[in-house]
Structure 1
Amino acid sequence: MTSLSRTRVPLRVLACALLALLLRPAASEPAVDAVASIDAMTSFLGADLPKLSLNKVLLEGSEVFGICGADTPTSRWMAWYPDRTPIVNMNIPGTHDSMTWNYTAETAARLAPVTNLHGVTVYPWQVYRTQSRSLCDSLNAGIRFFDLRYAADITGTRLVLFHAQALVSEISTLDDVMYGFYAWLETHRTETVIVSLMYEGSTIRGASNNANIQLQLHTILSSPAAKKYILQTRDELGTLGPTRGKIILFKRFTLDKLPADYDASLPGLHMDPARWADNNPDFSITYNTATNATAYIEDLYEPNTPVTANATVNIGAKLNATLAHLAKAARPEYAGSLFVTYSSGERNYAVAAVVPQIMALGNGTEYTPQAGVNQQLLTYLQGVKGKVRLGIVAVDFWDEPAGLVAAILGR
């Protein structure tokens, strides 16, 4: 039995997924397309039970992972680089709150009967949506860093994906999404994917990162499939060769409610959440004290501007923090260190709310004459194309404007 198969998948979940495909408008063609696309993803398994089992899991995960379309010229961009390339020296496009692409008005309304049970206020959908393309579309376009936030569902028995109070799917679990990455890597063996995992608070009244949640996470990340597709080194970031076809875990979580050997058994880069500075434009985390391996991070997600400041002021503040950190990444004294720059942001609670889409793209009016962070970032990147190391650059709405991913890659 292939390591991609699993011992148990809830039949109720599969039934719900299939029913959703069958009952949605103009259902017959999209359902056929979805099944055909998943079938193509798993063609390497042949027509046997393991393939059917994986197809079932991928269908369950498709509300978050998506249905894969065709490859693009950047689907295998890591093949351009030799195995000896240090990962810290690469320019790596990424996304922030990657799973929110499907959190539309329709999704929020459909999930309202569930989220109404959570006992927390869920704000308008525009507050939470930071992407418009699926995880699989993002992979095919060249995105290699993904930011996923998990918590327990209302039953406490499954880990699902949230952005703050917003549940993005009742069907797709974190485990399902991880299998989506495994399947994609199986057919893109030149590539490596960095997956950031963080426990999301404020999802359900009274919820906490308890031992039950931590044990579920450990089980997901230590399964036979996980051990095959997740790079099994710990707090090391070496060259590209050994990471091809693998996931590098970027661990923004702790297993402090479990015995110490649970945490010690998991691979990845430990970005201790206790040391992750909140809303900070420039901080560092030493993730390996023996080698002094350090990550330099910009995560100013809400500019410290007056609540009366308009979108242009907020976009400018976020852009300045982003460009300053990218300039630091290019300095030779930091050449051996990991850099992570989040160009994403919001000012949701300003008098004139700047939701993530406005921060990234502008609002299309005279109040954002230079558009959003993305357009201005593209202009900067085109000016330094091929000249500097950027590190990981995590953006919102990566598909606008066209050419942003290619510009991060230096193409």
Structure 2
Amino acid sequence: MSVILGCLATAAILPSALASSSHLAALALQNVLDKASPIFGSYINRAPGRAEWMKAYPDDTPLVHLNIPGTHDSATWNYDQATQRSLKGITDLNQVTVPVPETFRCQDLPFIDMLDMGIRAFDLRYSFDPTNTTLVFYHGPALLSETSTVDDVLFGFYQWLDDHPSETIFLSFQHESSTAKYTSNNAELQLNLYNILVSPEARHYFLQKKDQLGALGEARGKIILLRRFDLDQLDSSYTEDLPGLHFSPSLWTDNSPDISLVYNSKKNMTAFIEDYYQPLTPTGSSAVENIKWKFNATKRHLLKATTGLEDSLFWTFASGTNTANTPPDWPRIIATGNGSDLTPEGGVNHQLVSFFEAF
């Protein structure tokens, strides 16, 4: 027997092969973007406009000095009766009762439109799909899409940043715990999320800076991770390996207008947060009262940011709901009113516009 060990000869790469490879890569990316479209929307690279508003600010602008517009429960834009009905066969596997779609829907536009309109912060709620296979998006027990995985949607953000390298995006990730009867934020789920956030693609697009916000220049073309989750079922080295700012859910006070969380103890950096999502009005309160309570909490928090704390991080939620009311005040009503004389000043959105214009 003769064993001959040698080196591989390197074949010349012909132009046609390069073209084929490029074509396949484009097809693969398009396939991922198509799967992401129920959440991200159909990808279109439009004219810049507001999509590049950060260009107007110099590179040395501290990120904490910018007002970053964002959306709460960002992935709910496509959740209506038709969506709920089409997903019922698979959501039945979760063995939970899913209320009417109006309970969960907080947005009207897909991510691609939000980005092009200037939105830069996204509130993302994830958990395992009903087969415990992939991470997908939920709002409470409402499965928002079975086909759009967290990984797929991230590629939409990556592509958008390639097309708009002057911009930076903030992504808040939070585990949704009420998705299924037997759901668990276990080690398998946490490892799945970890692997997504440390993939080669994520390492490239997520700003690899930890526990602090720097200047806009270093963040251009990058994503800043806001970690509203713990990896407490994994070794501590997994948490240490992740970039971004950590806001442990164990320290996030539920339904509070005034939360303070230290995200960098060495430098004593604190985030001030308003997350008063359900006004604690008396039973039977009108929509006007619920809107007023939510608007006042939001306004107070915004004013607090102007009182000698300009170098601090403020995180303000302008959204709210009161589904216990009769009739219920859905998120849409708190945001925009109910379209009748019963909410003459509109919702929180309208009143915030007047507040900013007069400030």
TM-score of Structure 1 vs Structure 2, range by shorter chain: over 0.9
Distance in 1 between the 2:21 and 2:170 partners? 28
Partner of 1:135: 111
- CA offset at residue 72 of structure 1? 5.0
What is the correspondence of 1:141-220 to structure 2 with a 5 Å cutoff? 141-220=117-196
Q: 1:77 aligns with which of 53, 67, 70?
A: 53
The yes-or-no answer on 1:379 pairing with 2:354 is yes
Separation (CA, whole Å) in 1 of partners of 2:62 and 2:123: 22
Distance in 1 between residues matched to 2:23 and 2:69, nearest whole Å: 36
1:101-140 matched pairs, under 5 angstroms? 101-140=77-116
- Kept in 1, the 8 Å contact 2:37–2:43? The answer is no
State the 1:151 CA deviation.
0.2
Any unmatched runs of 5+ in structure 1? 1-44, 385-411
Query: Does structure 1 residue 296 correspond to structure 2 residue 272?
Result: yes
Give the distance between the partners of 2:337 and 2:122, measured in 1 at CA. Answer: 23
Q: Does the CA contact (< 8 Å) of 1:68 and 1:137 recur in 2?
A: no
1:48, distance to aligned residue in structure 2 (A): 2.4
TM-score by length of 1: 0.81
- CA-to-aligned-CA distance 1:251-276 (integer Å, 9 cap, x gap): 00010001111111110100111111
| 1:233 alignment partner, one of 209, 225, 234 | 209
CA contact (8 A) 1:89 1:335 kept: yes
Scaled by the length of structure 2, what TM-score is found? 0.93
Q: Secondary structure of 2:122's match? A: strand
Structure 1 residues 157-190: Cα deviation after superposition (integer angstroms, max 9, x where no partner)? 1000000010000100011111110110011000
Contact kept? 1:128, 1:166, Cα under 8 Å: yes
Which residue pairs with 2:10 in the alignment? none
Matches within 5 A, 1:296-315: 296-315=272-291
Contact 1:72/1:141 (8 A) holds in 2: no
Q: Give 1:336 shift.
A: 1.0
- Is 1:62 the counterpart of 2:42 in the alignment? no
**Residue 291 of structure 2 is aligned to residue 327 of structure 1:** no
- For the structure 1 residues 98 and 46, does the alpha-carbon distance in structure 2 shift closer, same or farther, using more than 3 Å as the test? farther
Change (3 A) 1:299 1:71: farther
Q: Deviations over 1:307-341 (max 9, x none)?
A: 2101000000000000000000122x201100011
Give the 3 Å change call, closer, same or farther, for CA 209–233 of structure 1 in structure 2.
same
The runs of 5 or more residues in structure 2 that have no matched partner are 1-19
2:10 pairs with 1:50: no
Match of 1:254 in 2: 230
Secondary structure, counterpart of 2:107 in structure 1: coil
Aligned-residue offset at 1:46 = 9.2
Distance of 2:283 and 2:100 partners within structure 1: 19
The equivalent residue for 2:8 is none
1:353 aligns with 2:353: no
| Correspondence 1:94 to 2:75 | no
Higher relative contact order (CA 8 A, sep 6+): 1
- Mapped contact 2:295–2:352 kept (Cα < 8 A): yes
Q: Could you tell me how far apart the structure 1 residues matched to 2:159 and 2:283 are?
A: 45
- 1:233 touches 1:267 (CA, 8 Å); kept in 2? yes
Q: Structure 2: which amino acid aligns with 1:345?
A: G
Offset of 1:68 from its aligned partner? 3.2
Alpha-carbon distance in structure 2 between the residues aligned to 1:46 and 1:340? 44
Alpha-carbon shift at residue 121 of structure 1 (Å): 1.2
Aligned AA for 2:311?
A: G
SS at match of 2:93: coil
Question: Could you list the per-position Cα deviations for residues 222-247 of structure 1 after superposition, in whole angstroms to 9, with x for gaps in the alignment?
Answer: 00000000000111101100000000
Cα distance in 2, alignment partners of residues 191 and 46 from structure 1? 29
1:362 maps onto 2:337 in alignment: yes
Distance across 1 between alignment mates of 2:256 and 2:89: 36
2:266 corresponds to 1:273? no
Query: Which amino acid in structure 2 is aligned with residue 381 of structure 1?
Result: F
Matched letter for residue 293 of structure 1: M
Native 8 Å contact 1:192 1:247 kept in 2:
yes
* In 2: Cα distance, 1:307 partner to 1:116 partner: 32
User: 3-state DSSP class of the match of 1:180?
Assistant: helix
Which amino acid is 1:197 matched to?
F
Q: Which amino acid aligns with 2:303?
A: A
| Cα distance in 2 between the residues matched to 1:352 and 1:315 | 14
Give SS of 1:336's match: coil
The 3-state SS of whatever aligns with 1:74 is helix
Quote how far apart the aligned CAs of 1:71 are. 3.7
Q: Name the SS for the 1:48 alignment partner.
A: helix
- Structure 2: how far apart are the matches of 1:46 and 1:364? 54
Residue 220 of structure 1 aligns to a residue whose secondary structure is helix
Q: Helix, strand or coil: the match of 1:146?
A: strand
CA distance in 2, matches of 1:320, 1:164: 26
The equivalent position to 1:245 in structure 2, one of 221, 237, 246, is: 221
- 1:33-69 CA deviation, whole Å, 9 max, x = no partner? xxxxxxxxxxxx9942222211111111111011134
1:17 maps to none
Q: Deviation above 6 Å: which 4+ runs of structure 1?
A: none
Question: Structure 1 counterpart of 2:272, which letter?
Answer: Y
Q: Give the residue type in structure 2 aligned to 1:257.
A: Q
